[in-house]
């Protein structure tokens, strides 16, 4: 059991590293495509454990296995090199900065495609309805497929649960398919004392639908969209006070949870299911990082994009020194947040 736990944590760290390096590859490839000099491309943070020089770029592995960087000439300092980042056109720089988060979404799509091609997706087709609830009273029955709740399109059963949670207690117009025809009815959820939740009365079998490759491509896009949406909703809850910083998990907590998921899946159904569970985590983390990095906050890719977009509109660059101060403040605040999150992770491990 101890050996399995160690293996699961190693696999989680490797997956986390792959996600980070793919993000940085986005910056790297677009930098090279735009003729920007890349001084170092590294995985991890802190002192260098191993490094090799290939042409103008040093490729290295750092001590701490979290994070990574694509360090470009003239990115955070002035440089007279024609190939320096800040000496390129504003649109070239925008493409390089945006490429990192965009590659996160590409990686999430790839992971989702592997999962859906292997085991399918959780179809919103009902196995039945719960007696005494609105779905039964409205005549909904086993085999019906939920396709829309109010104006929200439904592709996975998870989306029904998410909608119910975000719109707790609200009456909803439900569109469902039966024998290829669409039907619409209105449901008022009923509070369930056992689950302490409002329920429409849907019952799902838990079986997954395995589509053809063409449909798998489409549903992989839906999967990425779903994870982007849940990330944004989570941020809204954080901003409105519905969730607190204590609910956040950093690298330590994420790796621990990933390891636990892998261990449970392997013990129940074998290594392949464990790997698929890891890929499922990969979809979530990749989409999450893509969204987080696009937030218009200093030091993040989104913060840099704000300055670049302002420059494109004004046709004049923002004072580099002032921009540097803004990003410095952002880095300090992010580091403080990381300390708080890591403290919570460690506390949760101890408790």
Give catalytic residue positions. 24
CB atoms within 10 A of CB 122: 19
Q: CB of 136 within 8 A of CB of 166? A: no
CA–CA separation, 219 and 224 (whole Å): 9
Q: Tell me the C-alpha to C-alpha distance, in Å, between residue 147 and each of 153, 159, 334.
A: 6, 10, 40
CA–CA separation, 205 and 115 (whole Å): 19
Q: CB of 250 within 8 A of CB of 342? A: yes
CA–CA separation, 1 and 254 (whole Å): 20
With 0-12 / 13-18 / 19 or more C-beta atoms within 10 angstroms meaning exposed / middle / buried, residue 1 is: exposed
Q: Give me the DSSP letters along 145-204.
A: EEEEETTEE--SHHHHHHHHHHTTT--EEEEEEETTEEEEEEE--EEETTTTEEE--EEE
Angle CA(21)–CA(27)–CA(33) in degrees, nearest 5?
125
According to DSSP, the residues that pair with 68 across neighbouring strands are 43
Instruction: Look up tokens 């398919």; give the residue.
Output: 177
Let me know how many helices (H) and strands (E) the chain has, helices first. Answer: 9, 10
With 0-12 / 13-18 / 19 or more C-beta atoms within 10 angstroms meaning exposed / middle / buried, residue 335 is: exposed
CB atoms within 10 A of CB 90: 19
């Amino acid at each position: 059991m101890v050996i399995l736990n160690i293996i699961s944590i190693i696999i989680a760290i490797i997956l986390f590293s792959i996600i980070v390096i793919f993000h940085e590859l986005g910056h790297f490839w677009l930098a090279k495509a735009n003729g920007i000099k890349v001084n170092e491309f590294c995985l991890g943070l802190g002192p260098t454990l191993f490094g090799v020089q290939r042409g103008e770029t040093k490729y290295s592995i750092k001590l701490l296995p979290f994070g990574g960087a694509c360090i470009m000439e003239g990115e955070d300092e002035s440089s007279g090199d024609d190939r320096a980042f800040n000496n390129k056109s504003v649109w070239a720089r925008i493409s390089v900065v945006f490429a990192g988060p965009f590659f996160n979404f590409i990686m999430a799509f790839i992971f989702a495609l592997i999962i859906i091609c292997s085991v399918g997706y959780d179809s919103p087709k009902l196995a039945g309805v719960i007696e005494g609830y609105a779905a039964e009273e409205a005549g909904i029955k086993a085999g019906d497929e939920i396709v829309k709740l109010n104006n929200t399109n439904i592709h996975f059963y998870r989306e029904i649960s998410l909608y119910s949670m975000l719109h707790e207690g609200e009456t909803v117009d439900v569109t469902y398919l039966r024998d290829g025809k669409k039907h619409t009815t209105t449901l008022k959820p009923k509070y369930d004392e056992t689950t302490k939740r409002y329920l429409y009365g849907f019952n799902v079998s838990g079986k997954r639908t395995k589509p053809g490759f063409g449909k798998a491509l489409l549903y992989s896009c839906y999967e990425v969209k779903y994870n982007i949406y849940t990330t944004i909703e989570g941020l809204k809850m954080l901003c409105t006070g519905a969730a607190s910083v204590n609910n956040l998990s950093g690298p330590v907590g994420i790796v621990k949870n990933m390891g636990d998921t892998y261990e449970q899946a392997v013990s129940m159904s074998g290594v392949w299911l464990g790997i698929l569970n890891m890929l499922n985590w990969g979809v979530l983390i990749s989409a999450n990082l893509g969204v987080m990095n696009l937030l218009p906050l200093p030091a993040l890719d989104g913060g840099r994009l704000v300055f670049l977009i302002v420059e494109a509109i004004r046709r004049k660059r923002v004072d580099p020194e002032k921009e540097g101060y803004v990003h410095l403040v952002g880095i300090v605040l992010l580091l403080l947040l990381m300390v708080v999150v890591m403290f919570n992770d460690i506390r949760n491990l101890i408790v």
